[in-house]
Amino acid sequence: MQVDIGNALAAVADPGVSRDALERLDEDVARAHDGIAAGRADDEFGYAALNLPERTDAAAIEAAVEPVADAEAILTVGIGGSALGAATISEALGGLDDEGASADAAPLYVLDNVDPAHVREILAEVPLDRTAVNVVSRSGTTAETLSNFLVVREAMEEAGVDWTERTVVTTGEAGPLRELADRHDMPALDVPTGVPGRFSALSAVGLVPAAIQGHDIEGLLAGGQRAADSLSSSLFDCPGYAYGAVSYALAQRGAGINAFVPYAERLEFFAEWFAQLWAESLGKDGLGQTPARALGATDQHSQLQLYRAGPRDKVVTMLRPQERADHEIPETDIEGLSYLGGSTLGDLLDAEFEATEASLAAADRPSVRVEIERLDAEALGELLYAMEAACVLYGELANVSTFDQPAVEWGKRAARGLLGGGEFEEAEAVADKTELIVE
């Protein structure tokens, strides 16, 4: 993995970071790295996430999913970090092997919302008797997750399917889900202690669907470990830290929006995962950088106009694999299109990538290039870990509490109170809503 920050330098971009400013910032990076290393050594809350590559037991995950290894579909029931990591990994690795050939991988469906129409559509689409269900909740009491799981369980019972034989549970050491798994002797894996959900992709939380699909779990962890081994006291020696430090420096200079643009369809979910990681971790105390999601080359025909010619409040992160399976563009004698013949779709996508990067630079707009060698398990594991490390470093530099999410918890309490789940003052605030209705 490599990160090119050249187009974020002040000589190229406005806002931008000068080389002198980067050198000064590197002193802060060294101090922040020492704090991160100490947190990892003590397995402190949050910092423990950066120890997952060496502590996650791939064999235990593979053993737990063995009873549902015959699944023709996988249904993850979770929300936020309990679903996005799994969706990101399975979407990136599922469907095609590393050479671009079709792979026999069961498709993943995700129930991470309680929209009743969506839930009904998913349940109507999956073959319930041949579906593996992975329900994920640390507490075992997450309202959205448990509601959806109860609906799935009822649908299976009505279809004559023994849901206990099709379910793998990922949860904390205690709670309703753990008790349910113990009562019905269902496979149960642990949500790692001390790890916020959005940082848990390289654990059982994110790896169960990929394991059922037969993907290289050990490779994902090896890639994560490679990124962990790259952590150092200088941003110039560590791709993850380089990305986190430059993102922080640009935000300090007015780039309060980070448009994350992968140039690979299989990485579209990665942008979703990044958005949660960045927003929930760094949006504190009036600080943070707002993530925006786009897809190259599709959104060059829509959002790029704003990024190049709108307010100077953005940095564009462009992500691509250097190697990919390709498909030749057929020759044609159609006037104006003949130049495409003999090229490939990959050539065109790379040209779109480089043209966008140059377009932004020509307009003095900052961008950062992130590249992985190819989209395989090891490279994906390295990318996931590097972005987590980047986020932690940004939080250290900004002096925010990276690992909590008080605004999220406020909303949870309000929703629970509205549903009659207890007395919560947050629920009472709903009645104070100001109205100005136009009909």
Edge-to-edge strand list for the sheet holding 290-293: 2-4, 367-374, 314-323, 257-262, 290-293
> Residue 103's pLDDT is what?
61
> Residue 342's pLDDT is what?
81
Identify the CATH class of 49-215.
alpha beta
Cα separation, 392 vs 389, in Å, equals: 5
> Residue 329's pLDDT is what?
87
> Residue 331's pLDDT is what?
86
Q: What does the H/E/C string look like for 195-237?
A: CCHHHCCCCHHHHHHHHHCCCCHHHHHHHHHHHHHHCCCCHHH
Phi, psi of 242 (to 5 degrees): -60, -45
Cα separation, 74 vs 17, in Å, equals: 45
> Residue 101's pLDDT is what?
43
Cα separation, 276 vs 273, in Å, equals: 5
Residue 19 CA to its chain's centroid (Å): 30
> Residue 95's pLDDT is what?
60
Which are the contacts of 301, defined by CB distance < 8 A and separation ≥ 6? none
Q: In the beta sheet, which residues pair with residue 9?
A: 17
Cα separation, 167 vs 129, in Å, equals: 11
Cis amide bond preceding 297, omega within 30: yes
Catalytic residue among 173, 301, 425, 435: 301
> Residue 102's pLDDT is what?
42
Q: In the annotation, is 314 catalytic?
A: no
Cα separation, 136 vs 208, in Å, equals: 10
The pTM of this model reads: 0.93
> Residue 69's pLDDT is what?
95
The DSSP line for 132-192 is EEEEEESSS--HHHHHHHHHHHHHHHHTT--GGGSEEEEE-SSSHHHHHHHHHT--EEEPP
In degrees, rounded to 5, the angle at the alpha carbon of residue 372 between the alpha carbons of residues 288 and 81 is: 45
Q: In the beta sheet, which residues pair with residue 323?
A: 374
> Residue 334's pLDDT is what?
83
> Residue 426's pLDDT is what?
81
Q: In the annotation, is 23 catalytic?
A: no
The CATH fold assigned to 2-39+221-398 is: Rossmann fold (3.40.50)
User: Which residues make up the CATH 3.40.50.10490 domain(s) of the chain?
Assistant: 2-39+221-398, 49-215
> Residue 100's pLDDT is what?
46
Q: In the annotation, is 280 catalytic?
A: yes
Residue with tokens 């929300």: 79
User: How confident is the prediction along the chain (439 residues), in pLDDT tens digits per residue?
Assistant: 999 999 999 999 999 999 999 999 999 999 999 999 999 999 999 999 999 999 999 999 999 999 999 999 999 999 999 999 999 999 999 864 545 444 678 999 999 999 999 999 999 999 999 999 999 999 998 999 999 999 999 999 999 999 999 999 999 999 999 999 999 999 999 999 999 999 999 999 999 999 999 999 999 999 999 999 999 999 999 999 999 999 999 999 999 999 999 999 999 999 999 999 999 999 999 999 999 999 999 998 899 999 999 999 999 999 999 999 999 988 888 888 878 888 899 999 999 999 999 999 999 999 999 999 999 999 999 999 999 999 999 999 999 999 998 777 777 677 777 777 777 878 788 778 888 999 9
